[in-house]
Structure 1
């Protein structure tokens, strides 16, 4: 495959749907009672969904296909099945610029297909142009608008435009192949914006088999009828399966296991947590800020020996260390330029001149950090620091690994341990306090509660927004009250397994 073709494949998220899968999907739609008058395929490619629709939906009056790639349009028009069916209209163009409202419509509508599998950040890496006009279209605020949450799949944006169009009609359907994570985001969108939807279900698709892609994918089916607003999703393990698991909303949150959550919902925190989960240090310059001890020397990421004052150097545990229980010692350290957000880093020049010289020697890299979070902040600023960072006792978990394993972290070499930004942690002033909370977090009840909230197929399944849901206040968590009070009154570190406890969803990194 040429470099040019590879770039185009990435830019357009081009995963052509095999005719076998397109036919199975159309058969599934027919079995669900779908019998449309108008069929629209917004990214029709070589026309496999068009062909499957022609064969399955004999009574459809019009079948419209859009495609941005001229070679694909040519191939679709040359298909014997397509070119001999007078109902088919193919447009060379794309959904980003095509006004759906221009389509004449009467009766029921079906929008079907397989939208691009690419995010806006991936587009940026290859300088791609296949993007809608840049905007914070989901309305994130503050840091969320500047960091990871503002990254979205192109298919997510497209699906939202299609749903908004279908809201205008009495009865319509959406049937799309997409990432499972995108399907959930669409359910979030419908619920958050209080859009009409009377049925929402997903059917697992083997992406490795059909697309040679290592990603969780599904066929998502939505029915829009009148003003019905049903915000739950039935998840089927295959297109043929009759068994399903239902996910839905509670406390304005999408729940992965409604049955378990309802049993343990009294553990849900309705208020701001008294003890708040935080994420580790974010500096975006690992070769400069992260150091290793080699014999008696500190060495940076380029293998250079560095001589720095001890004041700003702290032991570091990374996500893999936490996930694998390597917590009793470390040869990794991190340079921390601030004790709180916005603190004047120029103070380092007077308190630790060697450290300041080291920062200035590496200023080109530090000043060149692209993230907007560093704008309008002191030079050499970092994020993920506060009083909580420097407390001696911590409970930590890595957000990237697909297992619930909490670790109780003690100081190392007389200093508090710090973490990278893949780690979430609670911090404490005393060991007994940390042990008491650790016992709660590793209880069977707490593990089951968290499992009911976590979607394990996500890239970073464990998040602070989930961890902070567990009510750690003893008076408000009756099931855990006895355990908490017992450990608080009679803390005994000899009774604590410091290696953590497994939550039981496999292992390995996502």
Structure 2
């Protein structure tokens, strides 16, 4: 049975909080709309809040869920300025006609649910399936094209605005709000966008960074800022870089912003943890099904997940997990394993049903038992790696008799010699570089340090700023047993100044 609340992304806004949002629109922004639309009004708390604050303004409440319509009609039966309309906001023209009027406020709390969640629930409550941001290739396949229905509704609303005296104010996840701001920036919109954060655990009892997104079309140019709903008139400006949003950088680290000449790689993706994640014991390897695993040693590699990636130095002897690698490059035919690694092939065949049941579309039309995040870089002897999940990044150096593999929640840079790996690891852990990353990353994101964020460091500028003394000071502070020589420093300097790795 479908979890209806989860399917609909149905988090009803408390009346008191909805009223606070309306007061901010009225008092902080001085906006008095002539028309109000609530596209997903639920039980109607935002409608009541709007009627209490904007007493003479008519409200059109739209709700797709038939179960709420009778309640809404009864709740507002004596209010001539409230009209309840059962419809899918994304498919009806009536709201667009109202939005085309002057001084319109689109207000509310759209569903907090993604299209992939709806699909996994077997829901029919899906908008038209298409890669609406135009993402290509692996990004579109592995989740970058996954989007919140909330984001779809907000962008749809913004596309219907025609006047320069309109406003949108909606509650959403902060990640959704940032995506909306980026789309507006790309479109060159003359809109003042403000993201006012609030405690979603307290308001909705859910754990997600959230905000009240206000898009004010009275602005004469694009402006994007963030703040807190408790102090809506105190905000910090953000800049759009062409790739994303970030805070304005302090002068001393402004030169660090650029494009990395070193290519960050994501760890291996297999989506079959019960079979592919092995635990090393004194008696050998055991999988998550509790089975002893005996396969050719040449195909088993040390394996580190995010939770174990936060040691500064990771050696293969200290790693207790392992992963059997089916490929060296993406798309490689795996059938050769039948002859080259018969024990491994037998193991894969035994659990083929689990591999075949993997849901991600990336495995569609791929070789059987395929993995992703594999290439020559996966087998580099030295790596500098970081988990994408933690607010405080730890950049680890990893090496051993065998290449160490990381899971797909981690990112790494591959190196062929220890000197380059050491310089890189110390540079990334230096106070100024970590300050830079913490400034451009959004620490309330599920994965603050994504490949996109990590790739925005100009290594040459950062190395020039930190210098060899700064690297060795970092080594001393971190209690590391090695120091950087002038030769190693110069070698890395040439690498990051001239080449793409």
TM-score (norm: length of structure 2)? 0.89
Q: Which residue of 2 aligns with 1:388?
A: 377
C-alpha displacement at 1:320, in angstroms?
A: 0.6
Tell whether the 8 Å contact from 1:312 to 1:337 is kept in structure 2 after alignment.
yes
| SS across alignment from 1:148 | coil
Q: Which residue of 1 aligns with 2:455?
A: 468
Q: Which residue of 2 aligns with 1:210?
A: 203
Q: 1:263 to 1:415 in 2, by over 3 A?
A: same
Q: 1:383 to 1:213 in 2, by over 3 A?
A: same
Tell whether the 8 Å contact from 1:266 to 1:477 is kept in structure 2 after alignment.
no
C-alpha separation between the residues in 2 aligned to 1:371 and 1:169?
42
Q: Which residue of 1 aligns with 2:295?
A: 308
C-alpha separation between the residues in 2 aligned to 1:121 and 1:324?
34
Asked if 1:445 corresponds to 2:432, the answer is yes
Q: 1:314 to 1:89 in 2, by over 3 A?
A: same
C-alpha displacement at 1:464, in angstroms?
A: 1.2
Q: 1:295 to 1:486 in 2, by over 3 A?
A: closer
Gaps of 5+ in 1: 498-510
Tell whether the 8 Å contact from 1:174 to 1:221 is kept in structure 2 after alignment.
yes
Asked if 1:479 corresponds to 2:465, the answer is yes
Asked if 1:77 corresponds to 2:73, the answer is yes
Q: 1:208 to 1:274 in 2, by over 3 A?
A: closer
**1:54 pairs with 51, 65, 68, which one?**
51
Report the number of matched residues.
475
C-alpha separation between the residues in 1 aligned to 2:200 and 2:361?
35
Q: Which residue of 2 aligns with 1:508?
A: none
- Which aligned pairs between 1:414-453 and structure 2 lie closer than 5 A? 414-453=401-440
**2:215 pairs with 222, 232, 235, which one?**
222
Q: Which residue of 1 aligns with 2:354?
A: 365
Gaps of 5+ in 2: 474-478, 485-501
Q: Which residue of 2 aligns with 1:33?
A: 30
| SS across alignment from 2:234 | coil
C-alpha displacement at 1:195, in angstroms?
A: 2.9
C-alpha separation between the residues in 1 aligned to 2:112 and 2:300?
42
After TM superposition, which residue ranges in structure 1, 4 or more long, deviate above 6 angstroms? 484-487
Asked if 1:405 corresponds to 2:405, the answer is no
Q: CA RMSD for the aligned pairs? A: 2.3
Q: Which residue of 1 aligns with 2:61?
A: 65
C-alpha displacement at 1:147, in angstroms?
A: 1.0
C-alpha separation between the residues in 1 aligned to 2:151 and 2:362?
25
Asked if 1:175 corresponds to 2:162, the answer is no
Q: 1:29 to 1:71 in 2, by over 3 A?
A: same
C-alpha separation between the residues in 2 aligned to 1:334 and 1:432?
27
Asked if 1:96 corresponds to 2:82, the answer is no
C-alpha separation between the residues in 1 aligned to 2:342 and 2:199?
58
C-alpha separation between the residues in 2 aligned to 1:242 and 1:402?
27
Q: Which residue of 2 aligns with 1:139?
A: 134
| SS across alignment from 1:178 | strand
C-alpha separation between the residues in 2 aligned to 1:425 and 1:405?
12
Q: Which residue of 2 aligns with 1:249?
A: 240
Asked if 1:196 corresponds to 2:155, the answer is no
Asked if 1:113 corresponds to 2:95, the answer is no
Q: 1:484 to 1:143 in 2, by over 3 A?
A: farther
C-alpha displacement at 1:244, in angstroms?
A: 2.0
Asked if 1:458 corresponds to 2:445, the answer is yes
**1:23 pairs with 19, 31, 39, which one?**
19
Tell whether the 8 Å contact from 2:270 to 2:276 is kept in structure 1 after alignment.
yes
| SS across alignment from 1:459 | coil
C-alpha displacement at 1:496, in angstroms?
A: 5.7
Q: 1:394 to 1:240 in 2, by over 3 A?
A: closer
Q: Which residue of 2 aligns with 1:238?
A: 229
- 1:473-502 Cα offsets, whole Å, 9 max, x none, are 37x853135459989xxxx972369xxxxx
